[in-house]
Structure 1
Amino acid sequence: MDLLTANDRHGEYPQSWYAATAEAPGPYPAAQGDIACDVCIIGGGFTGLSAALHLAERGYDVVLLEAQRVGFGASGRNGGQVGTGQRLEQDDLEKLVGRDDARKLWDMALESVQLVRAIVAKHAPDAGFTDGIIHAMHRARYVPEDHAYVRKLNEDYDYDLIRAVDRDEMRALCGSPAYHGGSLDMGGGHTHPLRLAFGMARAAVAAGARIFETSRVTGVKEGSTVTVSTDAGRVRAGHVVWACNGYLGNTEKRVAARVMPINNYILATEPLDAGFAKTLIRDGHAVADSKFVINYFRLSDDNRMLFGGAESYGYRFPKDIVKLVSKPMLEIYPQLKDTRIDYAWGGTLGITMNRMPHFERLQGNILSASGYSGHGVAMATLGGKMAADAIAGQAEQFDLMSQVPTPRFPGGVALRWPLLVAAMLWFSLRDKL
């Protein structure tokens, strides 16, 4: 079964609140015949669009191939949260790569947030950017550890935009008794991710990039000049960037061994009364909790609750997404039990074993960046810029990220699904206990 068509119609965006409130650029034509360029980018999400934009601004002749529409995948379906830091906390990164490189990765993550802010301001003002992410602990025993981590960031990383939050303040901020404390990070925030993707696409084209939609890659022949084939076209390029993330499938098996797809789901309620909405999230921040299968939620600019949670493993989305996601939403906000759900959608993201992005030079002129593990709005946007910089000869950041170990999934592609399901069931049970 094909991830690109298992749950979506060819060339159409999902029926999400994002798609209903964003004006798509294009449509761009499909690739046909022989095309030559300096760089061919495979994938039209944040990584690919950012790479195309930054390369075109440097004067490169860029072709971007997207199997569906730009922003079609996780880039246009996610929770819109723009988090600071890497997906792994700094304690774990220090053990994995050492303190010096952990600090570089922290600074890189801060840069990724600033890059999103800059792109929103310059190319996608309609996407907006609201400051603040609340990290909410669903177990009282997790609060001391979270507060210790806040102190670590304050003291060891000179980061003063995050502070500890006690139980009373957390319940005032979130309007729910489900949480026992946590932290508030004003360095991050949230945005409209599909409008952000569309803004990058328009900016890339304005800078000279050529985008081809509904142009699925069927083969890549490596060499000093790489030949990328689609159903109706053939692109010859000096460099190639793989930027497919969760929708890669098995097209590039070296990446698929380390990056696998999982599905996640979001609901959008009807617009809420402004006063009532303020009782749910008092100051309009985004919220992400401490469960292994994270609940993440925020208010839209028209006062809808956008609530993400629940995962599935396989190709097909569940038949009743509303039922699946309403359960965790109502556990946190039972006061929404009579609220109409206007939109429900799913998307596929790419995860790695250790939840760190997987960057790799597949050969000298072929790069891959993916596996953002639910932390991709900022890091994928920077990842595209890092790939562009590497092609232009400034590879320090790309090489640093490529040195972070991302193990193969046990059993390879064939066994990763059942092993992941077993692991997720265990962690889900742990959350309940």
Structure 2
Amino acid sequence: MAYTPYPQSYYAFSANPAPQRPPLIGEHETDVCVIGAGYTGLSTALFLLENGFRVTVLEAAQVGFGASGRNGGQIVNSYSRDIDVIERNTNSQAAALMGQMAFEGGRVIRERIERYNIQCDLKNGGVFAAFTSRQMEHLEAQKRLWERYGHTQLELLDRQAIRRVVACDNYVGGLLDHTGGHIHPLNLALGEAAAVESLGGVIHEQSPVVRIERGTTPVAHTSQGRVRAKFLVVAGNAYLGNLLPELAAKSMPCGSQVIATEPLSEELALSLLPQDYCVEDCNYLLDYYRLSADRRLIYGGGVTYGARDPANIEAIIRPKLLNTFPQLQNVKIDFAWTGNFLLTLSRLPQVGRIGDNIYYSQGCSGHGVTYTHLAGKVLAEALRGQAERFDAFAGLPHYPFPGGRLFRIPLTALGAGYYQLRDRLGV
């Protein structure tokens, strides 16, 4: 059987020790079979195990192989489209529920880290950085919106204040979320997997699901075994493939690129980000960066529609890094990698049920670290018969991409190009 290792990322290089979990062999039965050992699957499994369910997790590669182990590592509240968009696209009751949940994922992460003693380099504080007065007006409106839903740990930064937070002259201001922050994303996933196993959950790696047998007792088939369960939870996101065609038709994998520098001196690192906050800018195709625990600058950005791997990641991201921090001109890049996230047309997550016993969550649209942890809780609630919050998500419209599978990539890239031009023109 083919073995799928982690990509050669900084996170895989610096990952905490973890066991290799055996592939699924033979026939098994459980209460819930979770497909995918990323954040969504692990969060769901943990909440279910804490409530007495038997859980088996099937992972095609290794724990955290996909976006959960390759992302920018930033704890960012709300969703890829903010609560005001949700208010315009659903009823007031559902919007109120989703507004209340918008800040819950970060709390779930911190609770997991504390309860299970997960070593993942948690640091507090995240900054949204504005290039233009128009973007700053948007941040002011965002602050008012979030405060309306009870999220008050926010601080507006003017040009002088943001210069004290990040050593970059490009920004006119920003918004500091004191409940934001950053983590080593793969180590968070590995710690959550260990927590799953500590509660009696079973994780099989190198076990891609090749077929789902639907029915009153669904069955997940791999090449060497199968799991019969009362419920299936599909949490493959951008790495699900065409396992469930009705989900693939309404989403599109996209690639994002990340680089990590060589370790910086303590003096240089603190001069760049004195408070060790993470930062993302306010452009439509945004850039994001932070310091690692060993003082590397981790910098990401760019989108590759259709999840193609660029030939030279450093050539794409290094100019962005130097535009932000020209003082790093002579710094060596030690790691460059790409990973896929799943885009939806609305940029809102897709949550739902197929039949009576197959549940899914997908389509974080590049905003998944906090949302996936919330999604696990919401899915687990639904399986326990408490579906109010699940129904609020499930009621959001799930649009197919225009042009179908053939034209969704060029049409989406064309639309993104329009917004990128707006970013450059400052409008």
TM range (shorter): over 0.9
Q: Paired residue for 1:276?
A: 268
1:59 is paired with a residue whose SS is coil
Deviation track 1:140-174 (CA, whole Å, cap 9, x = no partner) reads 332123223323433x2232201211111112211
Does the C-alpha gap of structure 1 residues 187 and 315 become closer, same or farther in structure 2, counting only changes over 3 Å? Answer: closer
Q: Paired residue for 1:111?
A: 104
Which residue identity does 2:40 align to in structure 1? T
Q: Paired residue for 2:65?
A: 72
Which of 140, 151, 159 in structure 1 is aligned with 2:133?
140
Q: Paired residue for 1:22?
A: 15
1:236 aligns with 2:228: yes
The 8 Å contact of residues 51 and 384 in structure 1, kept in 2 or not, is answered as yes
What is the deviation of 1:77? 0.4
**Equivalent-residue separation in structure 2 for 1:62 and 1:89 (angstroms):** 33
Q: Paired residue for 2:47?
A: 54
Q: How does 1:142-161 map to 2 (within 5 A)?
A: 142-154=135-147, 156-161=148-153
2:33 is paired with a residue whose SS is strand
Which of 83, 89, 112 in structure 2 is aligned with 1:96?
89
The 8 Å contact of residues 68 and 213 in structure 1, kept in 2 or not, is answered as yes
Greater Cα offset, 74-83 or 246-255: 246-255
The 8 Å contact of residues 217 and 230 in structure 1, kept in 2 or not, is answered as yes
2:267 is paired with a residue whose SS is helix
What is the deviation of 1:286? 0.7
Does the C-alpha gap of structure 1 residues 366 and 320 become closer, same or farther in structure 2, counting only changes over 3 Å? Answer: same
Deviation track 1:105-160 (CA, whole Å, cap 9, x = no partner) reads 12212221110001111225311321111000122332123223323433x22322
1:217 is paired with a residue whose SS is coil
Q: Paired residue for 2:400?
A: 408
**Equivalent-residue separation in structure 2 for 1:92 and 1:267 (angstroms):** 32
The 8 Å contact of residues 210 and 223 in structure 2, kept in 1 or not, is answered as yes
What is the deviation of 1:304? 0.8
1:284 is paired with a residue whose SS is coil
What is the deviation of 1:411? 2.1
Which of 281, 302, 312 in structure 2 is aligned with 1:310?
302
Which of 107, 115, 122 in structure 2 is aligned with 1:122?
115
**Equivalent-residue separation in structure 1 for 2:268 and 2:27 (angstroms):** 57
**Equivalent-residue separation in structure 1 for 2:54 and 2:135 (angstroms):** 50
RMSD of the alignment, in Å?
1.5
Q: Paired residue for 1:192?
A: 184
Does the C-alpha gap of structure 1 residues 231 and 45 become closer, same or farther in structure 2, counting only changes over 3 Å? Answer: same
Q: Paired residue for 2:197?
A: 205
**Equivalent-residue separation in structure 2 for 1:385 and 1:141 (angstroms):** 36
What is the deviation of 1:24? 4.4
What is the deviation of 1:320? 1.0
The 8 Å contact of residues 38 and 63 in structure 2, kept in 1 or not, is answered as yes
TM-score by length of 2: 0.96
Greater Cα offset, 78-87 or 313-322: 313-322
What is the deviation of 1:25? 2.4
What is the deviation of 1:415? 2.2
**Equivalent-residue separation in structure 1 for 2:3 and 2:309 (angstroms):** 16
**Equivalent-residue separation in structure 2 for 1:207 and 1:279 (angstroms):** 43
**Equivalent-residue separation in structure 2 for 1:231 and 1:32 (angstroms):** 8
The 8 Å contact of residues 264 and 310 in structure 1, kept in 2 or not, is answered as yes
Q: Paired residue for 1:43?
A: 36
Which residue identity does 1:203 align to in structure 2? A
Q: Paired residue for 1:329?
A: 321
Which of 160, 167, 182 in structure 1 is aligned with 2:159?
167
2:180 is paired with a residue whose SS is strand
Which residue identity does 1:413 align to in structure 2? R
The 8 Å contact of residues 27 and 213 in structure 1, kept in 2 or not, is answered as yes
Which of 334, 350, 354 in structure 2 is aligned with 1:358?
350
Which residue identity does 2:341 align to in structure 1? L
Does the C-alpha gap of structure 1 residues 124 and 352 become closer, same or farther in structure 2, counting only changes over 3 Å? Answer: farther
Identity of aligned residues (%): 38
**Equivalent-residue separation in structure 1 for 2:4 and 2:384 (angstroms):** 32
Does the C-alpha gap of structure 1 residues 360 and 152 become closer, same or farther in structure 2, counting only changes over 3 Å? Answer: closer
TM-score by length of 1: 0.94
**Equivalent-residue separation in structure 2 for 1:216 and 1:341 (angstroms):** 33
The 8 Å contact of residues 116 and 191 in structure 2, kept in 1 or not, is answered as yes
Deviation track 1:12-62 (CA, whole Å, cap 9, x = no partner) reads 111111111112422111111111111111111001111112222222221
Greater Cα offset, 404-413 or 225-234: 404-413
Which of 389, 400, 415 in structure 1 is aligned with 2:381?
389
Give unpaired runs (5+ residues) of structure 1: 1-8
**Equivalent-residue separation in structure 2 for 1:129 and 1:107 (angstroms):** 24
What is the deviation of 1:98? 4.3
Q: Paired residue for 1:254?
A: 246
What is the deviation of 1:92? 1.8
2:378 is paired with a residue whose SS is helix
The 8 Å contact of residues 257 and 412 in structure 1, kept in 2 or not, is answered as yes
Which residue identity does 1:88 align to in structure 2? R
User: Number of aligned pairs?
Assistant: 424
The 8 Å contact of residues 124 and 195 in structure 1, kept in 2 or not, is answered as no
Does the C-alpha gap of structure 1 residues 399 and 281 become closer, same or farther in structure 2, counting only changes over 3 Å? Answer: same
Greater Cα offset, 142-151 or 109-118: 142-151
